Copies of this chain bind each other. A is one copy, B any other.
Amino acid sequence: MGSSAPDQVTTGDHPVRAPTNTFTPPPFTIRSIPHLSDYLTPTGNHTSGGDQTVVTLPSLRNPIDSNPFYRPSSTFYISPYEVILSSILFDTNNPNPSSNSDVTHDVRVASPIAYHRAGPRRIINFDPNKVRAAIVTCGGLCPGSNTVIRELVVGLNELYGVKEIYGIPMGYRGFYTADPIRLDPRTVHDWHKKGGTMLTTTRGGFDLQKIVDAIVKHGYNQLYVIGGDGTMRGALDIYKELKRRKLNICITGVPKTVDNDIGIIDRSFGFDTAVEVAQQAINAAHTEAESAVNGIGLVKLMGRSTGHIAHHATLSSRDVDCCLIPELTFYLYGKGGLFEFIDQRLKQKGHVVIVVAEGAGQDIIAHSGKQEKDPSGNPLFADIGTYLKKELKNWWDQTHPGDQFTVKYIDPTYMIRAVAANASDNLYCTLLAHSAIHGVMAGYTGFVSGPVNRNYGYIPLEDIAVTRNVVDTRNHTWAWVRSITTQPDFVK
């Protein structure tokens, strides 16, 4: 920064506080979640109260009531009247919910939304002795998957007394090709300390009719599906098919995306661990860069469509000079471009550390030509890390021939995603699994659990399947955090 004084502002209206001292938010829409009673006739007597259907289907007291170790307090059970506000930032001059949130997901809604709170219900709609639960993991590895599995098993067994719990190996295709694995608390007791998934996983293999037929054949009536956005869309299809067939089977999704690209919920499990472990790669890149003459440390981090890991890892590290993400267009050559910035930093500090999300800069990879896809149908990206490494060398050789220069490129992907969950994610996965169990036991279906502004809520699978959490580079937060690294804004 230069040392000349900033411009004095001589006129204008610059209040330092909001000009009123109370504020009434606009009406919130309460998002309703599907329930078995939507399409099943209740087995018990029922009453209908006015405009609202009241269901008593199975209608059993929650067995936690009679747990010898544990007596629920008066506030233990959650009623369907309890909601969480999802949109909480307001401009009191214009009282629509602000999209300019410090938290990086961006729910674009016409009106603010409230979700039902997650938690145990006083009345449940499954007899625990008749529950046959199935748990399946799909897609790539993510820290915490085994904790979710462990806690589904332990929670169903210890809180509700469910005895029949099965793991489906090999992802969706395992429903119709593999033998299920019987799970009990003893089997899973130390799974939360293991990376990967003890059930094994594959991509693809989604065949709706084969899967639902297999579910019926095996007699599963509770389905816990752990997977990414493709998996969640599959779970939504299964829910619709179960409803179409009017089956007494609940399905819930546990969104798994280490990239944190799922919308509505605060963050996805494994993300915190990934950001933590990514520090090792950034530290190594920083050390390599610092120890060289004109050294560049280049780290590619996970994030196909979103740069959350790159973004958070950069802010956590304090050693990164530039963070490139899919949400932000950048260019290499010319004034205001990446290479000019690197040149300046090398002159100032002698080394530079760059973090690039795997989905960044796809547009600038000239004529990449073919866009391959993996078995889940996700596009295979051109490798921005390798590309940048090569371009950096070309640029240097042309502009600084003969000078020392080193680029060390690190791709730590598997070393990040294959670790066990850290403490924060283990806690999160535990609450996620228990939220899911309480919801399913109470007859909710076609839903997802997750923290909304730090309170656990239930969200329709339908909403989750269509919402993406991207880094909004137009809003205050990205601008602010970008200002922390003082990296270029790539505005020509």
Q: Which of A414-467 contact B (CB under 8 A)?
A: 414-415, 418-419, 422-424, 426-427, 430-431, 434, 442-444, 451, 453-456
Distance in Å from the Cβ of A154 to the closest Cβ of chain B?
8
Contact A54 B124 (CB under 8 A): no
Given that A14-B54, A285-B414 are known contacts, is A170 also in contact with B98, CB under 8 Å in the complex? no
How many angstroms from the CA of A13 to the CA of B15 in the assembled complex?
52
Given that A18-B81, A22-B30 are known contacts, is A287 also in contact with B423, CB under 8 Å in the complex? no
User: What residues on B are CB-neighbors of A408 within 8 Å?
Assistant: 414
Closest B residue to A442 by beta carbon equals B16
Contact A404 B170 (CB under 8 A): yes
Contact among B80, B427, B483 for A316, CB-based, below 8 A:
B427
Contact B22 A418 (CB under 8 A): no
Copies per complex?
A: 4
Given that A5-B129, A88-B88 are known contacts, is A415 also in contact with B30, CB under 8 Å in the complex? no
How many angstroms from the CA of A290 to the CA of B189 in the assembled complex?
13
User: What residues on B are CB-neighbors of A129 within 8 Å?
Assistant: 3-5
Q: Which stretch from A196-204, A208-216, A248-256 is at the chain B interface? A: A196-204
Q: Which stretch from A59-67, A229-237, A361-369 is at the chain B interface? A: A59-67
Contact among B18, B316, B427 for A315, CB-based, below 8 A:
B427
Q: 22 A–B contact pairs at CB < 8 A?
A: A15-B49, A15-B55, A16-B35, A16-B37, A19-B52, A21-B29, A21-B32, A22-B27, A22-B28, A23-B27, A24-B24, A83-B90, A83-B91, A90-B114, A155-B484, A197-B291, A275-B424, A283-B418, A315-B430, A316-B426, A434-B484, A453-B454
User: What residues on B are CB-neighbors of A102 within 8 Å?
Assistant: 117, 451, 454-456
Contact A52 B15 (CB under 8 A): yes
User: What residues on B are CB-neighbors of A488 within 8 Å?
Assistant: 69-70
Contact B279 A483 (CB under 8 A): no
Distance in Å from the Cβ of A93 to the closest Cβ of chain B?
5
Closest B residue to A438 by beta carbon equals B480
Contact A18 B163 (CB under 8 A): no
User: What residues on B are CB-neighbors of A30 within 8 Å?
Assistant: 17-18, 20-23, 92
